[in-house]
Structure 1
Amino acid sequence: MLFTPGDVVPDASEPTSLSLLSKVKTQDDQAWQHLVHLYGPLVHRWCRRSNLNEADTADVFQETFRAVSAHIESFQPNKKVGSFRSWLRTIVRSKVNDHFRRVQRQPVGRGGSEAQLRMAAVVDHLEDEHDAEAETDHAEVVRRALEMIQPEFNERNWEAFIAVAIDGESATDVAERFGIQAQTVRQANYRIRRRLRVILQDLGD
């Protein structure tokens, strides 16, 4: 069966492993690094699309993740808040607006009406997330999650997973090419999908 990012959803039948979010809430440093690895590129892209230069993007990036660190313990994905990605986007919007408000308070010639126009554009851009953009952002999170877990699996199993899940080949064809049983291919596919679900569990992505 062909794998798509939308296939990756929390699986309530797998409660034995702590999700990435659960580990972050326990102040696990490695889990925090993984969270930044997964979502940092999205924050950077959202900032740059909001017309921030690289230096200002770096500042807003740090402010965003400081806010995440301060409030992550109370975060729970639901219909009102949405996924972690939606919650994060809301924080970025707030921090970008804070940035432009600071610019507005600077002496004339360094902000003023231009800052007001930029702020309006930021609100329009970050509040109006199109389905295609959301799908792209979700796919980016899944891709980086796959990068993160790849070292946990041997090369043959990983290549078999990619062939079946990403390229859409049948387990039988992949097994024949690798000289292994089709059941071995299916097991590798299942284990990697399961690991991916554990990583993304509770994030709503």
Structure 2
Amino acid sequence: MAAIDTSPSTSASLLLRASEGDGQAWHRIVQLYAPLVYKWCRRYGLGPEDAADASQETFAALSQRIGTFDPSVSGATFRGWLRTVTHNKVMDLYRIRQTGDARGGTANVAALADLDAGDPTLGEVGSSGSGAPDRSDRKEVLRRALAILRPRFEQQTWTAFWRTTVDGCSPEDVADELGISRWSVYKARSRVLHRLRSELEGLERF
């Protein structure tokens, strides 16, 4: 059964389209990463309102600089780069607050400057990392990406992908379950995975 695809492009990645000024691609990137940026801001010790402000400033800066990120650079990851931008915006906020409240202000900024190196809950800035926090962040992004992609595929195609890739069922069992050929199961899974990789090229590695 054919997949339903309503996006303007299936070949160019979200990163490429956003860097070329595609508003829809930019909106999807914000959808994917805004909850993660907010979570990082909260981990830095910001309250809900300040975290929301810092998140907004992060994406404002990102919208101006997204074309400068080069995923081909060895060791570069979009998430690591985004985390660095977030860290800088949080530090900017703390510096601004020093003017109104000097008590502990300098110490707070100094602590934040070293936080990424010493806090295992944030992982290493600029690196794909191999720790649990980084894997957890990646899973969050993938879950949101799949939720965005889901409406673009017919039920049978999506079920074949989900049952084999996420649930770990064999293609043979899924073929019997859906009443289709094993080849159709492979084809459905490949179609969804190809679309996911195309969308997230330069953002997440597979």
**Runs of 4+ residues deviating >6 angstroms:** none
Between 1 and 2, higher relative CO (CA 8 Å, sep ≥ 6) is seen in 1
Extract unaligned runs of 5+ from structure 1. 1-15
Aligned to 1:122: 112
* Distance apart, 1:153 and its partner CA: 0.4
Aligned to 2:103: 112
In the aligned structure 2, how far is the partner of 1:46 from the partner of 1:153?
32
Instruction: Give the 5 Å matches for 1:8-157.
Output: 17-79=11-73, 82-106=76-100, 110-113=101-104, 115-127=105-117, 128=119, 129=123, 131-157=131-157
Is the deviation greater in 188-197 or in 75-84?
A: 75-84
Alpha-carbon spacing, 1:166–1:204, altered in 2? closer, same or farther (3 Å): closer
Q: Does structure 2 retain, via aligned residues, the 8 Å contact 1:46–1:126? A: no
* Distance apart, 1:125 and its partner CA: 3.7
* Distance apart, 1:123 and its partner CA: 3.4
Q: Does structure 2 retain, via aligned residues, the 8 Å contact 1:82–1:204? A: no
Q: Does structure 2 retain, via aligned residues, the 8 Å contact 1:43–1:92? A: yes
Q: Does structure 2 retain, via aligned residues, the 8 Å contact 1:89–1:126? A: no
* Distance apart, 1:105 and its partner CA: 1.5
TM-score by length of 2: 0.84
1:143 partner letter: R
Structure 1 residues 36-81: Cα deviation after superposition (integer angstroms, max 9, x where no partner):
0111111000001111011111111111011111111121124467
1:52 partner letter: L
In the aligned structure 2, how far is the partner of 1:80 from the partner of 1:152?
33
TM-score by length of 1: 0.84
2:197 partner letter: R
Structure 1 residues 141-164: Cα deviation after superposition (integer angstroms, max 9, x where no partner):
111111111111011211121110
SS of alignment partner, residue 151 of structure 1: helix
Structure 1 residues 133-184: Cα deviation after superposition (integer angstroms, max 9, x where no partner):
1111111111111111111101121112111000110000011111111111
* Distance apart, 1:116 and its partner CA: 3.8
Between the two proteins, the alignment pairs up a number of residues equal to 186
In the aligned structure 2, how far is the partner of 1:179 from the partner of 1:104?
66
Give the % identical residues. Answer: 41
